[in-house]
Amino acid sequence: MSEEKVTFATQAWIEQFHAEINKSEAYRQAAKTWEGDFYFIIEAEGALTEPVYMYMDLWHGESRGAFIAQDPSARSPEFVISAPVSTWKEVIELRLDPIKGLLTKKLKLKGNMAKIMRAVKAANELVRCTTRVPTDFPL
């Protein structure tokens, strides 16, 4: 029986992502010293007509909270990574290494880059968690 797909950049999707992170022993190990929250901005493209701000609070190998921010100005996370839907799709389908995406600026990052470069393994494990969410992209 095939799994039901969840639409990317929705509350349901980020909840599943949050659950996958907290199930992942590999992520827990790789990110055991990580402290930092994020906005993942999904820029409007295709069927997505407005940008979506996904907030995640990642702390010592766990997701402490994840939701779609209705008012992006309400929080000032340490990191902001933004890209259009099609680029996020490439990342989630493992066709674009997230670090390579940052180096080529297909993924735009605001925040302490050096801190991210010390957490490349955690970044990869985070992406691996997204692959476990059966995803339908609004393209």
Partner 1 sequence: MWYFRSPEIVFGEDALDHLAYLKGQRALIVTDEAMARMGFVEMVKAKLVQADLDCDVFDQVEPEPSLETVRRGAAFMLEKKPDWIVGLGGGSALDAAKAMWILYERPDLAPEEINPIDDLGLHQKARMVAISTTSGTGSETTWAIVLTDRQEQRKISTGAPECMPDIAIVDPAFAAHMPPRLTADTGLDALTHAIEGYTSSWHNDFADGLCLKAVQIIFAYLPRAYADGEDTEAREKMHNAAALAGLGFINSLAAAAHALGHSLGAVFHIPHGRAVSLLLPYTIQFNARGVQPTRYVDIARLLNMSAADDQEGANSLVSAICDLERQVGQPLSIREALPDVAPDEFAAHLDKLVDNAEMDATIVASPRDLSTDDTRRLFEYAYEGKDVDF
Stretch that binds partner 1, among 14-22, 38-46, 113-121, 131-139 (CB under 8 A): 113-121
Give 14 or 122: the residue with its C-beta nearer to partner 1: 122
Identify residues 30-59 at the interface with partner 1 (CB under 8 A).
30, 33
What amino acid occupies position 72?
P
**What's the closest the beta carbon of residue 106 comes to partner 1, in angstroms?**
7
Give 14 or 45: the residue with its C-beta nearer to partner 1: 45
List 47's β-bridge partners, or say none.
none
b/e for 2-23, b at 16 or more Cβ within 10 A?
eeeebebbeeebbebbbebbee
DSSP string, 14-77: HHHHHHHHHH-HHHHHHTTT-EEEEEEEEE-BTTB-S-EEEEEEEETTEEEEEEE-SSGGG---
Stretch that binds partner 1, among 14-22, 42-50, 78-86, 120-128 (CB under 8 A): 120-128
Task: Say which residues have a Cβ less than 8 Å from residue 119's Cβ, sequence separation at least 6.
Answer: 30, 31, 34
**What's the closest the beta carbon of residue 99 comes to partner 1, in angstroms?**
5
Q: Of 80, 82, 54, nearest to 69 (Cα)?
A: 54
Q: Does 109 bind partner 1 (CB under 8 A)?
A: yes
Identify residues 71-100 at the interface with partner 1 (CB under 8 A).
97, 99-100
Among 12, 44, 117, 139, binds partner 1 (CB under 8 A): 117
Contacts with partner 1, residue ranges (CB under 8 A): 26, 29-30, 33, 97, 99-100, 102-106, 109, 112-114, 116-121, 123-124
